[in-house]
Amino acid sequence: MRTVPCAASLHRLGLAFLLALAVLALQARDSAARVFDPETFTLSNGMQVVVITNARAPIVTHMVWYKVGAADETTGESGNAHLLEHLMFKGTKTLGPGEFSRLIAKNGGQENAFTSYDYTAFYQTVAKDRLELAMKFEADRMQNLVLTEDLVASEREVVIEERRSRVENDPASRLRETMQAVLYLNHPYRIPVIGWKHEIEQLNAKTALAFYHRWYTPNNAVLIVAGDVTAADVRPLAEKYYGAIPARPVPQRVRATEPPQTAARRVTLESAEVRQPGLAMTYLAPSYNSADSEHAYPLEVLDEILGGGTASRLYRALVVEQGLAASVNTSYSPSALDLSSFDISASPRPGVDIEKVEAGVRAEIARLLQDGVNEDEVATAKRRLAADAIYARDSLNTAPNVFGRALTTGRSVADVEAWPDRIAAVTVEQVMAAARAVFREESSVTGLLLPKPTS
C-alpha cells in the first residue's frame, strides 16, 4: 500500500535525513566537505536531474520528486495530494490500471510512493539494465494519467480505510494529529497529510485531475537516480523520456503564514485502548528555510545532546538516574519548506504517574536553559552524529531521499554537500541561542495519552 507519513512520522524522517548527511567530519578537515559527490544537470524543459554513483551492486534507484505536497492543497480538499499519489498507479493512455506495478515486478523491481506536506515522490529500484523501463513508465504517467469516477471512488475508499486503520483506530496517532492541528494556528501544516475524513469523502476525479495538471510537470520535478550508473548513462535516457515532455506554468507555492503564538496549549486523550500512558511535547521551531534559520544546525546538535540515545541528557536523567521513564526521545528535522518542530516524547515506568515524568522533562529543560551545555557535550554530539552515519553512502536509497527532500524544499545540492562543514562549525553559544529561541512555553503543545478511567 502507498504510505503517507503521519505528522510525527514526518519529523522522524528527519532522523534519517540527519544521519544520512552526517558523514565523518574527518573528511572535511582539510578541504570542503563532499558527502555524496553527485553529478547534476538540467533538461531543456527545466527538470533538474541528480545522479549519485554507487557501484556496490548492479542496481539503481530511480525517483521522481514533485515540488508539491499536502500543504499546497486547495482549502477544503485535504487529502487530495495523497489520493492523487494513489491514483498515479491507476493507469494512463498506454498502461491499464495496476499495469505499471505489474511490469516493474515482472522485471524484478520494487516500486512505491509517498506523500508529505512539501513533496510527493515515486520510486523504483531495479536492475541497472531495467532503468530505461522504469523511466519510460514514470515519464508516461507524468503526462498521460487517465482517471474515471469509478476508479477514484474505489481508491478513495482505500484511503478512507487507511485513515481508519492508521489514525482513527490508533490513540497515539489521534493524539499526534490533534497536537499538530493545535501547534499551527494558521499554517496548513495543521491539516493532516492523509486529510480529514469528511473532506476525503468529497474528493473526485475533477479535484484529482485539477491538482495533477496544476503541479505535475517536469519543470516542477526533480529526477534522482542512484546506483551503478553515471550521468553519462542517465542523460540520454532522461532527455529521451522526460525531456520530450513540455514544461507548463506552475503556480507559486503561496501558503498562509503563522502569527505570533502567545499561549501554551495542552491536549489530553483518554482511551480504553491505551495500555501505556505517554507524554508528548512539541515546540514550534525553525527549518533551514524559515526565519531564524540560523538555529537549524545548532538544533540538530541540541537534538543529539538531549535525546540522542542512552548517553543523552534526558535518558540519563529520567531513565537511569531518577527511574521515572521507561523511554524518552527527542526529534528534530529542519528539512521543511516552512516551519518545523522540536519534539520530546516519553513513557513512564509502571507505577509512575505521567505527571512526574512531565515534571522531570520540564526540569531538565529548565536546567539546560539555566546552566547551558558545555564544549565537551557539543563536541561529543558532533562525533556521535558522524559515527552514526559512517556507512550512509553504502545505502542505495539514502542519497536520493536526502537530495529529494532538500531540492523540493528550497535547498540546493551545495547545501547538502556542505552539511558536515556547517555542523562542524556549530558552537556552544549557538546551541544555547537555539535552545532559548525554541523552548518557549507560548509556542508549545503538551499532549497526554491516558487510559480511560473505568467506573
Active site residues: 85
E-assigned strand segments in 2-46: 39-42
SS3 category, 50: strand
Show the CA angle centred on residue 213, arms to residues 107 and 338, nearest 5°: 95
Q: Are 215 and 88 in contact (CB under 8 A)?
A: no
Q: How far apart are CA 164 and CA 196, in angstroms?
A: 11
| CA distances in angstroms from 247 to 217, 405, 438, listed in the order given | 6, 22, 41
Q: Residue 418 region, left (φ>0) first, then alpha (ψ -120 to 50), else beta?
A: alpha
Q: Are 82 and 115 in contact (CB under 8 A)?
A: yes
Write out the DSSP string of 348-373.
Answer: EPTT--HHHHHHHHHHHHHHHHHH--
Report the 10 Å Cβ neighbour count for 263. Answer: 9
Q: How far apart are CA 441 and CA 446, in angstroms?
A: 9
What grid cell was written down for 238?
532522461
Q: Are 278 and 453 in contact (CB under 8 A)?
A: no
Q: How far apart are CA 323 and CA 147, in angstroms?
A: 57
Q: Are 98 and 89 in contact (CB under 8 A)?
A: yes
Torsion of the alpha carbons at 69, 307, 309 and 27, rounded to the nearest 10 = 70
